[in-house]
Amino acid sequence: GRREVPLVEVRGIGVRFGGLQALDEVSFAVGQGEFVSVIGPNGAGKSTLFNVISGVQRPTSGEVLFDGEPVRRSRPDLVHARGVGRTFQVARPIGSLTVRDNVLLGAGGHRLRGVLSSLRPRSRDRALQLRVDELLELAGLTAVAHRPASEISPGDLRRMEIARALGDEPRLVLLDEPAAGVGSDGLTPLAELLGRIRERGVAVLLVEHYVGLALSLSDRAVVLNRGRLLAVGDPDEIRGNQAVIDAYLGT
């Protein structure tokens, strides 16, 4: 049969910040519904890679393809329209809104963002309400749904961000360090949510310092070190890769 076109293909991506080569000739692909971890030490270029894929950062060289088509301009709105959702390393909630309304904003799509006045008419839409309820349930947030986002725990906040990113049914979500700051209480519900996303067949690119957690969920992992691709493989290959072990243990 015909070879399946990857959902996303990163081709020879380079990003230079002045004298610093943050990414250098990075290439890999993510298939439909595939769960791929991006691991590597601090400064390896993981967040920069996410910024390139999501259209926030223009690469100095190379290109990103969605469904085999290059994204000609680095524009987050165009990338989002192709079905890519994301969270940020530092959470960006709207603290004064309830958890439910934050998730509603995600479910309303990018058209709604920043247009709070349009929340009211949209919120009467029954299908949208059901979808928001389902997302809250999926993320284990039903009990805190009516609390202001500024008052919930760091773990709940991270899952709220993910629920928001899932809101308009992306085909790929980019999750940048979702376990950062969640504490030991937050890890189990987060791992459960990530597992459920995986079951739904949404492709995931996950950056996570809890490498054990990341690999336990992943089909494959991409390892970056100082902007370069150190290894790509399934979790067992990555765990046994000497170059990966060396990069993590330091030089």
Number of residues that bind Mg ion (CB under 5 A): 2
For 183, what's the count of Cα atoms within 13 Å in the CB-facing half-sphere?
Answer: 6
Nearer residue to ligand ADP within complex by CB, 18 or 121: 18
Which residues ranging from 41 to 70 are in contact with Mg ion (CB under 5 A)?
Answer: 46-47
Q: How far is the CB of 39 from ligand ADP (least distance, A)?
A: 9
Using CB atoms within 10 A of its CB, is residue 212 exposed (0-12), middle (13-18) or buried (19+)? exposed
Q: How far is the CB of 240 from ligand ADP (least distance, A)?
A: 22
Residue choice 6, 40, 85, 186 for contact with ligand ADP (CB under 6 A): 40
Residue choice 14, 33, 43, 148 for contact with ligand ADP (CB under 6 A): 43
Q: CB nearest Mg ion: which residue? A: 47
For residues 114, 108, 155 and 239, what is the CA-based torsion angle, rounded to 10 degrees? -110
| Phi–psi pair at 158, nearest 5 degrees | -65, -40
Residue choice 30, 39, 46, 141 for contact with ligand ADP (CB under 6 A): 46
Q: How far is the CB of 169 from Mg ion (least distance, A)?
A: 26
User: The tokens of 191 are what?
Assistant: 């791992």
E strand residue ranges, the chain: 8-17, 20-30, 35-39, 61-66, 69-70, 84-86, 172-176, 203-207, 220-225, 228-233
Which stretches of the chain bind Mg ion, using CB under 5 A?
46-47
Give the interface with ligand ADP as residue ranges (CB under 6 A): 17, 20, 22, 40, 42-48
